[in-house]
A and B are shown apart, each in its own frame.
Chain A
Amino acid sequence: MSIQSLLNSEVKVINLGLEDFARNLKEQAVDVLHVRWQPPAMGDQNLLSLLDKLK
């Protein structure tokens, strides 16, 4: 979606991280989907960089 379309469309949010942000948007009747995000590769940076190399 172009920037102009975004500025003139209903904002629909995917929220990754702080749950409060999603909750507050929901209270304003904004369409929002919260992701209960977890660190990939169980937070193991070495494993993560290996996984990224495999992509």
Chain B
Amino acid sequence: MFLQSHVYKNTFRDSVYLMRLSSMLRELDGVEGAEVIIGTDHNKKFLRAGDLWTEEIEQNAGANDLIISVRAVNQQKAEAAIQRALDEMTKEVDRGDLAGEFVPRTFETALKHMPGANIALISIPGRYARREAEKILEAGLHVMLFSDNVSMEEEIALKQKALEKGLLLMGPDCGTAIINGVPLAFANRVRRGNIGIVAAAGTGLQEVSSLVHNLGGGISHGIGTGGRDVKDAVGGLMMLQGLKALIEDVQTAVIVIIAKPPEPQVTQKVLQAAAQSPKPVVVNFLGGDPEPIRAAGCESALTLKEAAEKAFRLAGGEPAAAPSANFTAVKEVIEAEKRKLKPGQRYLRGLFSGGTLAYESLLMLNQAAGGIYSNLALEPRFRLTDLFRSREHTIIDFGEDEFTQGRLHPMIDPALRGNRIVAEGKDPETAVIMFDLVLGFNAHPDPAGAAVEAIMEASAEAEREGRHLIFVTSVCGTDEDFQNRREQVEKLNKAGVLVFPSNADASFFVKELLNNLLTEHR
């Protein structure tokens, strides 16, 4: 083993670029580990933990330097990998960021060149986000703050400033928004229409907007608030601002609110505001009490699918066909699949990239499973202690910080989840592997292809041992997305995966399957 590093002084690149470069180096022949990373204290800890620490890093690397560190089978391979990284970065500089265009270094310069700009999309490291966002709000622009690691105090300060100025501050940690038909960050290509969404749950917004599109409806706007907005400390500032905006908006006829159950004061404020809406409001507080929602005169939806369907009908749409999975057909499929299982195969392993989808499945399946171990566990006793080892029924959200530290989000790089599909397949107690696929801008170009590769490997190994694995999924996205939902579904079907129209339908199927398996075991 040989360890080699290179410190590139006073150099900064965005994190997605660096993580892609790191992944590329790790794929090189003879390379055992590699990181291309900015030398912050936090990242240095990460290098130490990954056995990529060198004397050179210790002596030379600061917070404004870029570190390339490679562990390889020999010196030649390590040096070749370092050289490759340097070549790639030089190429990047030669090519320019956006071919031949003026690329300013600061917001102030950018604004001079684009005086009509009306929104800023910020995805810089969280510790700098408040500083930039404040300047931008001050200049009168709306902000979508994709960055995470922004403190709650900073969030409150920014949102209060936005309110004073009559602006939107979507985020922090806001992954998805659609403004006047323009998808920002992780959003799907959906039809324009009269359904407006305000969401404190990113993949929730993606699922509902995609399902509305797939039903034949369209979206006016999708306003993201960031998940913490519905905590009492933040007070639902942007949820209320977004709701008010959609009530006033001429393009919006029906409003959908999506969030994990807000804290009590926020619930009250949001429902009070919704009760005043002259437009119908559909509310999905994932797993929340539907009674106060109905009492406020709103439509309660228990699943994201139900939210999409109710909004679609209220907006004047008529579903082309029965959208739900046919109950009798489900029973038949369950019987057929169950017969193929070997005794002892009884557990669910849910491997998700979308946080809201993982949470929805956890809510729908927890009771049938008699408790599910998870990093999103509903009860502390079901908190998964070792995230890399499943226990009985398990659901994992691979988008949580534990998995994204120094790695790309699983929607961009499905490798980690793919490995886990293979690992779960080896467990003789695994019966069903459930997962989600999220399409849309900035997501992986072929998530179905990546999943199928892992599925084939897992199935082949299980078959050798006389076991059968049941794979269940849904594809969040539309045929307009560049990955093309229909083609993705076909690819999965060919590989024997059971593909459902929504995450709720997939969860419903798994629930029936678990009920059935548990009855057998009693």
Contact = CB atoms under 8 A, between A and B. Distances in A.
A14 B123 contact: no
A17 B119 CA distance: 14
Contacts of A48: 131
A24 to B, nearest CB: 5
A7 B180 contact: yes
Interface string B118-136: 1111111101100110001
B469 interface: no
Contacts of B131: 40, 48, 52
A36 B105 CA distance: 5
Given A3-B168, A4-B245, A26-B98, A43 B121 contact: no
Contacts of B117: 12-14, 33
Given A6-B179, A36-B105, A20 B442 contact: yes
A44 B41 CA distance: 12
Interface string A25-46: 1101011011111111011110
A24 B147 contact: no
A21 B184 CA distance: 8
B107 A16 contact: yes
Given A6-B180, A13-B121, A14-B141, A43 B110 contact: no
B120 A3 contact: no
A30 to B, nearest CB: 5
A28 B441 CA distance: 10
Given A8-B250, A33-B104, A39-B12, A3 B142 contact: yes
B166 A2 contact: yes
B386 interface: no
A40 B128 contact: yes
B330 interface: no
Interface residues on B, range: 35 or more
Interface stretch (B14-22, B295-303, B321-329, B447-455): B14-22
A54 B40 CA distance: 25
Nearest to B121: A15
Contacts of A35: 103-107, 109-110
A33 B14 CA distance: 16
Interface in B235-283: 241, 245, 248-251
A19 to B, nearest CB: 6
Contacts of B40: 43
Contacts of B245: 3-4, 7
Given A17-B147, A22-B98, A37-B105, A11 B182 contact: yes
B179 A7 contact: yes
B182 A43 contact: no
B116 interface: yes
B62 A3 contact: no
B63 interface: yes
A38 B12 contact: yes
B123 A3 contact: no
B89 interface: no
Contacts of B123: 15-18, 21
Contacts of A7: 179-180, 220-221, 245, 249, 251
A4 B248 contact: yes
A6 B120 contact: no
A43 B131 CA distance: 13
A45 B127 CA distance: 10
B105 A38 contact: yes
A9 B120 contact: no
Nearest to A52: B131
B367 interface: no
Nearest to B104: A35
A2 B165 CA distance: 8
B166 A3 contact: yes
Interface in B60-116: 62-64, 97-98, 101-107, 109-111, 113-114, 116
B121 A6 contact: no
A34 to B, nearest CB: 6
B185 interface: yes
A32 to B, nearest CB: 8
Given A7-B221, A31-B114, A18 B107 contact: no
A50 to B, nearest CB: 13
Q: 8 closest pairs, A vs B, by CB?
A: A17-B123, A43-B64, A43-B63, A42-B64, A11-B182, A17-B124, A18-B123, A3-B245
Interface of A: 1-26, 28, 30-31, 33-40, 42-45, 48, 52
24 contacts: A3-B167, A5-B118, A6-B180, A7-B179, A9-B180, A12-B118, A15-B123, A16-B107, A16-B124, A16-B132, A17-B121, A18-B123, A24-B442, A34-B103, A36-B103, A36-B104, A36-B105, A37-B132, A38-B12, A39-B125, A40-B131, A43-B38, A43-B40, A44-B63
Given A6-B168, A35-B110, 4 more contacts: A4-B249, A6-B142, A26-B98, A34-B97
